[in-house]
Amino acid sequence: MPLQDTHALTFSLTVPPDFRFAPCLDYMARSDNESLFEVRDGGVNRLLLLSGEPVLLRITAEEEQTLTVRVLAGAWKGEAARVEAERYIRDWFDLDRDLEPFYRLAMGHGVLGGLAREFNGLRLVGVPDLFEALCWAIVGQQVNLAFAYTLKRRLTETYGDSLEWEGRIYRHFPRPGQLAAAEPEALGALQLTRMKSAAVLDVARRMSGGALSREGLLALGSFRAAEEQLLQIRGVGPWTSQYVRMRCLRDPEAYPVGDVGLHNAVRLLLGLDRKPTLPELQALFADWPGWEAYAAFYLWRALY
């Protein structure tokens, strides 16, 4: 439902001096098939569930060191919704991390230094919702990125919440409870494989039943312990667990060493005529202790 006075529902977030919104938007605009947000006119529109209600937000950077958040539509529930929205946005753009040590480290390395200069200000754009992060990683296994986006769109359009505003439909990734009762055949009709369907449903049921949560994983006290719990889920292997550690749990040392895109980026930047070997990747990332996740993210960025 549209709001009557959007000007009264605008708030600002202070961002660190080494944050730049433009390269983050460029990264998020890498696919025309993105179903969960819309990058346009120097900002991004995204539907969030705030205090249990779908609310459409627009985020722009109209002033230096400030993000402006405008509520466009939905059932806004005041201060509680604002706090929840701010928490999500800060997590989404990793705004509470000091990147000065990363840039200092990167500038001492030929490969990463060039990327750090080219994409200066880019943050590791995350996936704060654990269910979305796990499903995105699962559907993306062993398929190209374009088809992974198509599978995510189909899941979102079939099972997620939506809100229409100014002739456009904005969508939210399904909540675990919205998928927990689905039949494997229904997911198969969306072109998820039998194994991926089983994995998505297993995650949905664990999360809707309270056996799995982001808060619970973080409360384990170590990212390795969180990974051990993730690996107990069918269809979740080392690549998926590392990806979730990196994009959702915000482990700065995580990187999916088996990722094809990472291999392609390293091969491109090092001028190799073959895929890099595991020892070569381990030696390369040994130069960036504590910043492996950001190094991997910047290497990925070189491919778009």
- Phi-psi sector, 170: left (phi>0), alpha (psi -120 to 50), beta: beta
Q: Is 176 inside any structural domain? A: yes
Using the 3D structure, point to which of 40, 70, 96 is the last residue of a domain: 96
Residue 27 lies in a domain: yes
Q: How far apart are CA 262 and CA 275, in angstroms?
A: 10
pLDDT score for 218: 97
Same-domain pairing of 229 and 172: yes
The answer on 243 and 134 residing in a single domain is: yes
Enumerate the β-bridge partners of residue 276.
none
Q: 28: buried, middle or exposed (CB in 10 Å: 19+, 13-18, 0-12)? A: middle
First to last CA, the chain: 36
Helix axes 260-270, 110-118, angle to 10 degrees: 100
The total number of structural domains in the chain stands at 2
In-domain check, residue 261: no
Domain for residue 113, yes or no? no
Question: Residue 30 falls within a domain, yes or no?
Answer: yes
**Domain ranges, residue 23:** 6-96
Angle at 49 between CA 254 and CA 199, to 5 degrees: 50
The residue among 78, 104, 92, 83 whose CA lies nearest residue 15 is: 92
Q: Are residues 211 and 146 in the same domain?
A: yes
Please report, in tens digits, the pLDDT of each residue of the chain (304 residues total). 444 444 469 999 999 999 999 999 999 999 999 999 999 999 999 999 999 999 999 999 988 899 999 999 999 999 999 999 999 999 999 999 999 999 999 998 888 999 999 999 999 999 999 999 999 999 999 889 999 999 999 999 999 999 999 999 999 999 999 999 999 999 999 999 999 999 999 999 999 999 999 999 999 999 999 999 999 998 999 999 999 999 999 999 999 988 999 999 999 998 999 999 989 998 899 989 999 999 999 999 998 7
- Structure-block tokens of residue 203: 């995650």
Q: What is the C-alpha to C-alpha distance for residues 194 and 73, in angstroms, rounded to an integer?
A: 38
| Catalytic residue flag (residue 259) | yes
Give domain status of residue 41, yes or no.
Answer: yes
* Residues 86, 139 within the same domain: no
Q: Is residue 281 part of a domain?
A: no
Same domain, 87 and 181: no
Q: Domain ends where: 228, 247, 266? A: 247
Give me the CATH number covering residue 213.
Answer: 1.10.340.30
> What's the predicted TM-score (pTM) here?
0.94
145 and 208, same domain (yes or no): yes
Give me the CATH number covering residue 77. Answer: 3.30.310.20
- As a whole number of angstroms, the distance between CA 289 and CA 258 comes to 18
State whether 148 and 207 are in the same domain: yes
Find how far residue 253's CA is from the centre of its chain. Answer: 16
Asked if residues 57 and 87 have their Cβ atoms less than 8 Å apart, the reply is no
Structure tokens at 154: 């189909």
Same domain, 170 and 90: no
The one catalytic residue in 129, 251, 259, 273 is 259
Q: Rounded distance, CA 45 to CA 208, Å? A: 27
